[in-house]
Amino acid sequence: MVTADTSPAAPAPKAPQTNKLGLTLADYKGSPSTLCDGCGHDAITSQLIKAFWELNIEPHQVAKLSGIGCSSKTPAYFLSRSHGFNSVHGRMPSVATGAFLANHKMIYVGVSGDGDTASIGLGQFCHMIRRNIPIVYVCEDNGVYGLTKGQFSATADQGSKLKDGTANHLNAIDLCGLAIELGCSFVGRSFAGDPRQLVALLKAAISHRGTAILDVISPCVTFNNHEGSSKSYKKVKETDTPLHELGYVPFFEQITVDYQEGEVRTVELHDGSHLQLKKLGQDYDPTDRSAAERAISQAHKDGHLLTGLLYINEESQNFGQVLDMVDTPLSRLKSDELRPPKEALDEIMAGLM
Amino acid sequence: MQAEDELAAVGMALGAGWAGARSMTSTSGPGISLMSEFAGFGYFTEIPTVIFDVQRVGPSTGLPTRTSQADLMSTYLLSHGDTKHPVLLPGSVGECFDFALEAFNLAERLQQPVFVLTDLDLGMNNWMSDPFNYPTTPMDRGKVLSKEELEKLGGFSRYKDVDGDGIPYRTIPGTEHPKAAYFTRGSGHNEDALYSERSTDYVNLMDRLNKKTETARKIMPKPVIDKVSGAKIGIIAFGSSDFAVLESRDQLKDAKMPASYLRLRSLPVSQEVVDFVNSHDRVYVVEQNRDAQLQKLIIMDYPELAPKLVPVTHYTGLPIDAQFITDSIVKKEQEKK
């Protein structure tokens, strides 16, 4: 009897997949999340990790910033090799502005929530947009204050109910509508439960060189996921009305045409990447500001939640361009470049004599 | 750049300081109150920046076009929790220039917000001054680890006291090393900058921050002292009171009450102040506020000096004058006899 070893050779342990920098997805992760199981925020964190990994961005070129709240805890849960800054409540935009002025070569990603953005931080949110500070600003929007027992936030829809049945009588602040009104150069809305759309929007926002506002509906499983809430997983799935199907093509890849003419609109982003918007029903033009405002207002009337790229203006100048900043980041200037020569002081002194 | 308000101005200054640039902002009156929360954040997270406060009359809107020195105590302790900041107290326009440079060096050396307290009299009125001095010393950029140093060390602990002076090492965002990153947070943290609510981590952190205050006590600008041999009394003053004190000393000399003089130039108060007080029978602390804030701050650190410290306070909104100081001291001296 011939005894041949017919058992298949043990497969070699599969090396984890790496990106073009030779980094694995794990290299873009952070500490384990301490949020509630099923929290929409964790789903957004996963897509942030994926977006940066797939775009082959060096983690040290990214800085993560946040304010205070459940959402603001999340920068600890992604990109552990990037500097992080958990600032004070509602004032991350000012910190990001200062950091940008010190080093405009970094990619800034800010994570905030509806309390942090639409209540205490509303002023700084507006001024960041007004200045067009280059940052990917994600508002993880659940309509409630999740760290303090789930009171309504300023983005809660009128008529939406708390767990105990209390209804919200006040108007909601629509962060996307507000951002467009303020002249924001990139405005999108998405849903934590739609990873495909979210990752495409995140990548496009990273490729954009201005303030990119992403309002991501992120249901609070503890305080706002019940019948009667307008921001529960169930309700958002019912009312989610995507404007288009999104495809992101990074600058290092060729655009392949597999759509029929007229079916797809392509938007070129600042870094040479492209966002493909496949038509779904209506023909939506995200470069038309007043059309975007009309669409948002109509959706409110219809009880729909419009998601996708609502508005983009790739022509706008960011704050660094407006200030005509030197190419070298201020943080890298050496002492001899920072200190003007003695003649400069002498001249000022002479002017005061 | 022009910020929308003081809440944003100090946030931008801290963001830039964190990201590796030298940064500053300036304010007066209610603006310093608005900066309170971020001031504590900067102290707790150890971010360098410089904040100028040109003191005007408070509380609230107060007398917005009048001068005072009444932000001293609130600025030194600005923010909730146990907080203490290094404060520079220039006494002339020329010293404002010198201390501006020094403030940036100290902020980056100590890794914390440094305050420069001047006042409306100095900040808004016309003054004669010698031409400003061009700096002769190099900039002090503090303890910053480069990519090469990280490679040698193999990593670092952001909030560890390696040198025994309470001051840790930091890295600048963008440093190309996988171990360069750390997480800045206003919540409790351990030596590795990780979130912690452990009592031992908190106590270690607070004690190390206090050690930085002790380091500041040694490296901040020393007082300017003019000791008169045989003088029984001394004067301590700061800021724009200097000119009135100089004139008052001549008047006191004529009244046979020669007074030594210590012009304080920074907080925390240093050993030189203790020695000065100890070498006189009585020391008059001359300041432009109601509550004798400097006298209280000296006593806070050195309670044993309390019996010798006599307040002379002036708070009319107008600059203090020599005759007021002389009359106050002569009266109090006569009461002692």
Which residue of A94, A102, A335 is in closest CB contact with B19?
Answer: A102
CA distance A328 to A80: 26
Task: Note the pLDDT tens digit of each residue in A248-265.
Answer: 999 999 887 666 767 888
Which residues of chain A register pLDDT less than 50? 1-2
Q: Which residues of B touch A342 (CB under 8 A)?
A: 134
Give percent above pLDDT 90 in chain B: 99
**Residue A335: closest C-alpha in chain B:** B139
Q: What is the pLDDT of residue B336?
A: 84
- Pinpoint the residues of chain B covered by CATH 3.40.50.970: 6-124
- Pinpoint the residues of chain B covered by CATH 3.40.50.920: 224-336
Task: Note the pLDDT tens digit of each residue in B43-98.
Answer: 999 999 999 999 999 999 999 999 999 999 999 999 999 999 999 999 999 999 99
Q: Enumerate residues 6+ apart whose C-beta is below 8 A from A45.
A: A30, A33, A74, A77, A78
Contact of A335 with chain B, judged by CB distance below 8 Å, is answered with yes
Task: Note the pLDDT tens digit of each residue in A180-214.
Answer: 999 999 999 999 999 999 999 999 999 999 999 99
**Residue B173: closest C-alpha in chain A:** A83
CA distances from B111 to B248, B266, B326 (A): 39, 17, 41
Query: What is the phi/psi pair of residue A298, to 5°?
Result: -65, -40
Minimal C-alpha gap between A74 and chain B (Å):
12
Q: What is the pLDDT of residue A262?
A: 72
Q: Cis link prior to B59 (omega < 30° from 0)?
A: yes
Nearest Cα to A61, choosing from B188, B140, B19? B19
> How many other β-carbons are positioned within 10 Å of the β-carbon of residue A24?
13
Assigned fold of B224-336: Rossmann fold (3.40.50)
> How many other β-carbons are positioned within 10 Å of the β-carbon of residue B314?
21
Task: Note the pLDDT tens digit of each residue in B273-329.
Answer: 999 999 999 999 999 999 999 999 999 999 999 999 999 999 999 999 999 999 999
Chosen CATH of B6-124 out of 3.40.50.150, 3.40.50.970, 3.30.710.10, 3.40.640.10: 3.40.50.970
Domains and CATH numbers, chain A: 25-327 (3.40.50.970)
Minimal C-alpha gap between B93 and chain A (Å):
13
Instruction: Tell me which of A62, A81, A94, A130 to substitute to probe the interface with B (most B C-beta atoms closer than 10 Å).
Output: A94
**Residue B19: closest C-alpha in chain A:** A99
**Residue B4: closest C-alpha in chain A:** A127
Q: Enumerate residues 6+ apart whose C-beta is below 8 A from B225.
A: B260, B261, B262, B263, B272, B276
Q: The whole model's pTM is what?
A: 0.96
Return the H-helix or E-strand segment holding A40: helix A40-54
Cβ of B15 within 8 Å of Cβ of A94? The answer is yes
Instruction: Tell me which of A35, A95, A336 to substitute to probe the interface with B (most B C-beta atoms closer than 10 Å).
Output: A95
Q: Which residues of A touch B176 (CB under 8 A)?
A: 58, 60
- The residue whose two tokens read 């600008």 is B221
Cβ of A83 within 8 Å of Cβ of B181? The answer is yes
Contact B321, B242 (CB under 8 A): no
Tokens of B255: 């009244």
Contact A44, A219 (CB under 8 A): no
Tokens of B279: 């070498």
Contact B238, B91 (CB under 8 A): yes
